[in-house]
Amino acid sequence: MKNAFRILSPGPCTTVQDLGRFGAYHMGVPVSGVLDDYAGRIANWLVGNSSNCALLEMTMIGAEIEFLTEVDIAITGAAMNPQINGQPCRQWTSIRLQSGDVLHLGAAENGCRTYLAITGGVEVPVVLGSRSTYLGGLLGGLDGRVVVAGDILKRGAGPLLRTPKSLPWYPLYPENICLRAIAGPHNGYFRDHLQHFFKATFEVTADCNRMGVRLAGPTIDRDTTAPESILSEPIVPGNVQMPASGQPIVLMKEQTIGGYTNIATVISSDIWRLGQAKPDDTIRFVQISLEEAHLLYREWAGFLDAAKSFL
Amino acid sequence: MAERKTEFRPSGDRSILATYGIEVDPEINEKVRQMTALLADHPHPGILAAVGSYCTLLVHYDPQQMGFAELTGLLLNLEQTLGQAAVPEARTVDIPVCYGGGFGPDIGFVAERNSMSTEEVISRHSSADYRIYAIGFAPGFCYLGGLDPRLHTPRLATPRRKVVAGSVGIAGSQTGVYPLASPGGWQLIGRTPLCLFAPGRQQPLLYGPGDTIHFRPITIEEFQHLHALDNQ
């Protein structure tokens, strides 16, 4: 393990994440992990890492980083106009850096989350099986907190690339987001109003973070027979909570149980799109069946496998 | 308890919610706990994790290895074998709480809503023993049952963006404690000085599902003393 880079300027919310912390839900510890796992996986594959190596997730504005050793990096996700030693460089490709090189990332021009992978992954202690940061629980990643100026991070073992890797396409992060969702699990309380939800266009408010995305739009009522509160139940990323206010909150990856009814659930293959949702974007939900969702799941897994093999 | 048919609903495309009841009932919760233990004893390549709550069990699965019908069948079959699962012994855990004032900003609303004084809220809340029905929402956040029906109060219409660590609250027929600062929709009535969750500790949590919690009212002075001791 060697010192790999020093943070000169961190950006507003930069954390160490891997694919997530699974199997600690019974202690109330959520999955955490990269919110855009599509961009996160590609970043790791571009430097020859396995899918679950830890990397940096940057939000809205990127970091300025000085590298302390020869290393391959890759930048994916939202376009942040990266520069190395003042010269523009590309995202979605591996880049060989030398000790002393300075990488600068600016404000996101589309989407909101950008990923930086390095050879061997970011080396931080494994806590409850993962290197992901759970900010709300103050655990994992770099001491359970966001990265700050002056932090020096190490990289794990791993060889530099023999030949550079590059992705010949990249995903778009549109301002008008369409998310496929399955009704429920509590759609039984919204029988009269479910279609209002699926017809509505919502705006992403300023209140959006790793815990959830608060939306503003037409008030969605519940059936008159529906209870005010429900007994808390385990939740999953993508659950769309509908509190009494009638304004939805789409849950992300920092929670295990909730007590608001869930009118619909975004399919797992579309969670990455949510990970790139920023204030003033619009979101609408398209209803699909569980069977359709499983077909899409298999297709998406196949697509990711093909991308990995290609790289 | 009347026998009730287990209901299965998809929660997205990778999880199933199994519902064993609709009320706070120790027997239903015991069923959820035993189902969780059975799943741990009978691992299946398609089943990734299981987490329970009052009456529900969420089972995470891999759709490429297992479908909805297959998983519900497996869960129904396991349910038939209930009674043979090994479940750890339960404990009673004492949690000191300073009620009201700045620690419990909603205690006045709870009192008024239920036509009683804040002193009565404190007395009723601290004289009961509470079963831990689930742990979730935040590390070590325990969902407790057995709240006096006269203290039931609906959760906030819009959740607070931040609730201070150690806060004790009420939402609907539930009561619980926030071990760490987090957003939340509960009515807050007091605060404990104890550090409830510490991942580096030998025992990260002071309690587990099925244990009993007892809240002991303390003064502000005792709160400050215990808080200092616990954070050394």
* Per-residue DSSP letter, A189: G
Q: Which residue in this structure is represented by tokens 């007994």?
A: A231
CB contact under 8 A, B172 and A238: no
Residues B220, B226: Cα–Cα separation, whole Å: 10
Do B186 and B156 meet the contact criterion of CB atoms below 8 Å apart? yes
- The closest alpha carbon to A153, from A49, A82, A62, A69, belongs to A69
Residues B138, B140: Cα–Cα separation, whole Å: 6
Do A234 and A260 meet the contact criterion of CB atoms below 8 Å apart? no
At A307, which helix (H) or strand (E)? helix A290-310
pLDDT at residue B3 tops 90: no
CB contact under 8 A, A236 and B199: no
- For A142-162, b where at least 16 C-beta lie within 10 A, e where not — what string? bebebbeeebebbbbebeeee
pLDDT at residue B2 tops 80: no
Report the gap between the CA of B59 and the closest CA in chain A (Å). Answer: 9
For the stretch B147-169, pLDDT in tens is 999 999 999 888 998 999 899 99
* Strands of the sheet with B7-10, listed across from one edge: B7-10, B15-19, B56-61, B47-52
Q: Is A132 on the interface with B (CB under 8 A)?
A: no
Q: Which of A54-63, A131-140, B37-46, B86-95 has the lowest mean pLDDT?
A: B86-95
- The closest alpha carbon to A59, from A271, A208, A204, belongs to A208
Report the gap between the CA of B140 and the closest CA in chain A (Å). Answer: 6
Residues A194, A200: Cα–Cα separation, whole Å: 10
- For residue B114, the model assigns a pLDDT of 97
Amino acid at B73: G
Q: Is A288 on the interface with B (CB under 8 A)?
A: no
pLDDT at residue B1 tops 60: no
Residues B58, B61: Cα–Cα separation, whole Å: 10
- For residue A238, the model assigns a pLDDT of 98
Residues A140, A129: Cα–Cα separation, whole Å: 9
Tell me the ipTM for this assembly.
Answer: 0.94
At A196, which helix (H) or strand (E)? helix A194-199
For the stretch B171-187, pLDDT in tens is 998 888 888 887 889 99
Query: What DSSP string describes B48-72?
Result: EEEEE-SSEEEEEE-TTT--HHHHH
Residues B217, A120: Cα–Cα separation, whole Å: 52
* Residue A144, token pair as written in the block: 């359970």
Which residues of chain A have a CB within 8 Å of the CB of B88? Answer: none
Beta bridge partners of A287: A181
For the stretch A20-68, pLDDT in tens is 999 789 889 999 999 999 999 999 999 999 999 999 999 999 999 999 9
pLDDT at residue B200 tops 80: no
CB contact under 8 A, B157 and A207: no
Percent helix, strand and coil across chain A, each rounded to 5? 15, 35, 50
Q: Name the closest residue on chain A to residue B163, using Cα atoms.
A: A136
- For residue B95, the model assigns a pLDDT of 95
* Residue A229, token pair as written in the block: 């509160």
Burial of A278 (0-12, 13-18, 19+ CB in 10 A): buried
The residue that leads in pLDDT, B136 or B67, is B67
Residues B193, A298: Cα–Cα separation, whole Å: 49
CB contact under 8 A, B49 and A23: yes
Share of chain B above pLDDT 70, in %: 96
Which residues of chain B have a CB within 8 Å of the CB of A239? Answer: 11-12
At B119, which helix (H) or strand (E)? helix B118-126
Residues A134, A57: Cα–Cα separation, whole Å: 13
Q: Is B48 on the interface with A (CB under 8 A)?
A: yes
Q: Name the closest residue on chain A to residue B171, using Cα atoms.
A: A229
Do A77 and A105 meet the contact criterion of CB atoms below 8 Å apart? no
CB contact under 8 A, A228 and B10: no
- For residue A71, the model assigns a pLDDT of 98
- The closest alpha carbon to A136, from B163, B157, B167, belongs to B163
* Per-residue DSSP letter, A222: P
Share of chain A above pLDDT 90, in %: 89
- For residue B232, the model assigns a pLDDT of 67
Which residues of chain B have a CB within 8 Å of the CB of A232? Answer: 53-54, 134, 136-137, 143, 174
- For residue A144, the model assigns a pLDDT of 96
Q: Is B153 on the interface with A (CB under 8 A)?
A: no
SS3 category, A56:
strand
Q: Is A133 on the interface with B (CB under 8 A)?
A: no
Q: Is A34 on the interface with B (CB under 8 A)?
A: no
Residues A290, A267: Cα–Cα separation, whole Å: 9
* pTM beyond 0.90, yes or no: no
Which residues of chain B have a CB within 8 Å of the CB of A301? Answer: 64
Instruction: List chain A pLDDT tens, one digit each, 311 residues.
Output: 689 999 999 999 999 999 999 978 988 999 999 999 999 999 999 999 999 999 999 999 999 999 999 999 999 999 999 999 999 999 999 999 999 999 999 999 999 999 999 999 999 999 999 999 999 888 999 999 999 999 999 999 999 999 999 999 999 999 999 999 999 999 999 988 999 999 999 999 999 999 999 999 999 998 888 876 788 899 999 999 998 889 999 999 999 999 899 999 999 999 999 999 999 999 999 999 999 999 999 999 999 999 999 99
Q: Is B154 on the interface with A (CB under 8 A)?
A: yes
Q: Is A246 on the interface with B (CB under 8 A)?
A: no
- For residue A198, the model assigns a pLDDT of 97
